[in-house]
Every structure is written in C-alpha cells, then in structure tokens.
Amino acid sequence: MNCQQARPLIDAYADGELGAAGILELEKHIHDCPACARAWRNVQDLKKALKQDALFYTAPEELQQRIRSVLPAPAKPAPSRPAWNWNWLTAATSGVAVACLALLLALLLARPSPEQQLAQEIVSSHIRSLMANHVMDVVSTDQHTVKPWFNGKLDFSPPVKDLATEEFPLIGGRLDYLGGRSVAALVFQRHKHVINLFIWPANAANSNASVFPPRQGYNLIHWSEAGMVFWAVSDLNEKELMEFVQDFTAGGH
C-alpha cells in the first residue's frame, strides 16, 4: 500500500469503519510511513476536539414545556377534593384553562388533514427529486435490478414492475422519506414527464385508484393493494397518469 491508497482510508480507520483486510494493510503502512502516521494522529486529535461536551447543545427547559403543552394532555387522575369545594379562584383558573384548550383545539382543527399533509409532502418530494437532480439512486430499466436494490434498505419489499411495453418505462428507483418513514420511490417516464410512484406498507383495506385534487400543478392518484399504499405523482395530465396507474395495477410483468 502506498500513501495515495492509504490516505482515503485513514478517516474510516479512525472511525472503526474499515474492514479487517484494510486494517492490516493500513496499519502496516502507517507503521512504516511517518507522514501517514501523523495524518492518522491528526484525525484522532480532531475527533477528540469535536467530541467535547461543551459543543453539545441541550434542549432548553422552555422547549420541553412547549412540546408537552402541545401534545395531547395525559388523562388526569380524579380530583381528590369534591368539585363543590372549588373556590371561585380555582373555577376562574380552570375557565381560562378550558378557553386555552378550546383555542388550541381550534388551531389544531384549522390545520390541514393528515391526508392533505401527506399529499403536500408527496408533491414536495417529487419536486425535490426533480430539482436536486436526484431522481434516482439506482438507475435501471430492469425490474430485476431495481427490486433487489431495495433489499436491506427498507423493511418491506415494494412491488417493482416494468411497464416498458405499455409506454411507461421504468427508469429507476430511490429511497425517500414520507410521513416519518422510509418509502420506496419507483421512477417511471412518459416522454419527458417523470412519474414518481411512492410505495409503503400500511394496514389499509384495498381501495381503488382515486384522484387527489392537484397540488402546485402536479396530479396525484392513490390506491392501496395487498397491504401497500401507492401514491403516483407527476406533471403528466390526469388522464395519462390514470392510464399509468391502470397499467401498473393490471400487473405489468
């Protein structure tokens, strides 16, 4: 091993992430090469400097209180004193508390529904995948390449189908993140239009494809089948997107 081969391995070595074979070779090189030995010590010193407790920010008490106050209140044990013993002040205070709760409830109700939020997240994900030029992690027109690629990256196995003959070629796949969980994103194409198909498992009954109101110019269709939830999103028009969904659910091959 020479210095040029050794240097890129030094960080992984210092992090304990180098494989056994690499460790043996690198240690041998470091033993013989003062410059690389110094580089290794430098990384260790830097790691030490970065691990100082003083660099860690702890959550302010105020934040903890804010979070607990917006989470649903835990059920209170029954009051130890009978209600008629409450004095005027207590009653007034609880009146204020009730008003606060009502206000909070009103605020919560004014928020978009979970499904609307999900749709918004899906559209954002779709846009992000196009903007960041990061549509795919695995580029392949072959379902037998795309499907195994997801193995070990997800806790489920998404149905990967190739619809090339039906004019919606599969062009790749990507890991994405929606609603707090990792999901599979299959990427299909129709001419210049990219279709992202998001898939994740859920305890949902089978449901037919239904069109969700378009958001920011993107069409959305969702359905569930065999314990999986599917959301297709694209700038493709609704009719063609529905054709895609029908092709996909018809089985592909």
Partner 1 sequence: MEERERLKLFEQTVLPHLDAAYNLARWLAGNDHDAQDVAQEASLRAFRFFGNFRGENPRAWLLTIVRNTFYTWLRQNRPPENTVEIDDETLAMEDLSTNVPAVDPQFADADAVRRAIAALPVEFREIVILREMEGFSYKEIADLAGVPIGTVMSRLARARRQLQVRLAAEFKPGDQP
Of 58, 80, 87, 151, the residue at the interface with partner 1 (CB under 8 A) is 58
Q: For residues 24 and 118, what is the distance between their CA atoms, to the nearest angstrom?
A: 49
**Which region holds residue 157: left if phi is over 0, alpha if psi is between -120 and 50, else beta?**
beta
Q: Applying CB under 8 A, does 180 fall inside the site for partner 1?
A: yes
Q: Are 135 and 129 in contact (CB under 8 A)?
A: yes
Site for partner 1 contains 162 (CB under 8 A): no
Q: Show contacts with partner 1 in window 183-242 (CB under 8 A).
A: none
Count the residues of the shown chain that bind partner 1, applying the rule CB under 8 A.
51
Q: How does DSSP classify residue 14?
A: H
Q: Verify binding: residue 70, partner 1, rule CB under 8 A.
A: yes
Interface with partner 1, residue 130, by CB under 8 A:
no
DSSP 69-92: HHSPPPPPPPPSS-GGG--HHHHH
Helix (H) or strand (E) holding 177: strand 170-178
63 interacts with partner 1 by CB under 8 A: yes
SS3 state at 72: coil
Q: Is 84 in the site for partner 1 (CB under 8 A)?
A: no
In the region spanning residues 23 to 42, those forming contacts with partner 1, defined by CB under 8 A, are 35, 38-39, 41-42
CB 146 within 8 A of CB 139: no
Q: With binding defined as CB under 8 A, does residue 72 bind partner 1?
A: yes
- How far apart CA 158 and CA 197 sit, in angstroms, is 11
| Binding site residues, partner 1, CB under 8 A | 3-4, 7-8, 11-12, 15, 17, 35, 38-39, 41-43, 45-52, 54-60, 62-64, 66-67, 70-72, 74-75, 114, 124, 137, 153, 155, 175-177, 179-182
